[in-house]
Structure 1
Amino acid sequence: MSIELELSYKLKQINEEALARFMEGKEKETAYDFYAQIKPAFEEGSKIANDWKDLLTERYKTDRPKHVHPSQLDSAVDNIEQQILQSFDPKAKSLRYKNTKESVDYVVNSVIEWLEKSKP
């Protein structure tokens, strides 16, 4: 499995974990510690997302997939970072959160499809 594909699956996992944390935090109105919980989760997710984008941007130059564009990769990174941060905020809007999650899922799934098709 390529590193791009591994990172794509890791991003899906991060997005699902963020949704679970968001739903649990909303239900229980949990207060999170910035340095112990929020900052480490954001830094890890942001690093994975940016590494993913950098690798795919390079690969895009040679593969030129039909259904994935570099601007989508940029948006997905911005959205996943927002997802992680908002997952710690019980006052965040549920509909907006879920729509942003679906947007990230769409791009990541499109990338996975592209990478699966381009396997040797």
Structure 2
Amino acid sequence: MKGQLEVGAGLGQLEPGHGYSPESGKMSGFEHYDRELRDLDNEIRRYAALCRVDLSKHHEIEACLKQHHDDWAADKARESLQGLLILRIKLETEMIELGFSPPPLVQTPGINPQEEA
């Protein structure tokens, strides 16, 4: 339906063969971290926008994740955002364990993480 948000669309759009593997408990092969993080961050930003959450304001994220919504679509978007944030934390943890430095989800104005490296 035109003009209606399709909640859940895009969650399965991460590249096939990449992402969380229940067998290994790992997220991705190290050669795909940049793409995985980019795709995941795009989905997080999309759901944050649907939930009207500013990702740079932690109190807004926490409030959204704690508040169950009466409307099914809004609550589904909230649950999707929560799941995506959990996946990002898992991916960041794996990257750090392997010696990588994951970029922040929200860039700080005036700071270029590429220049710091």
- TM-score by structure 1 length? 0.39
Greater RCO between the two (CA within 8 Å, min separation 6)?
Answer: 1
Task: Determine which structure has the larger helix proportion and give its number.
Answer: 1
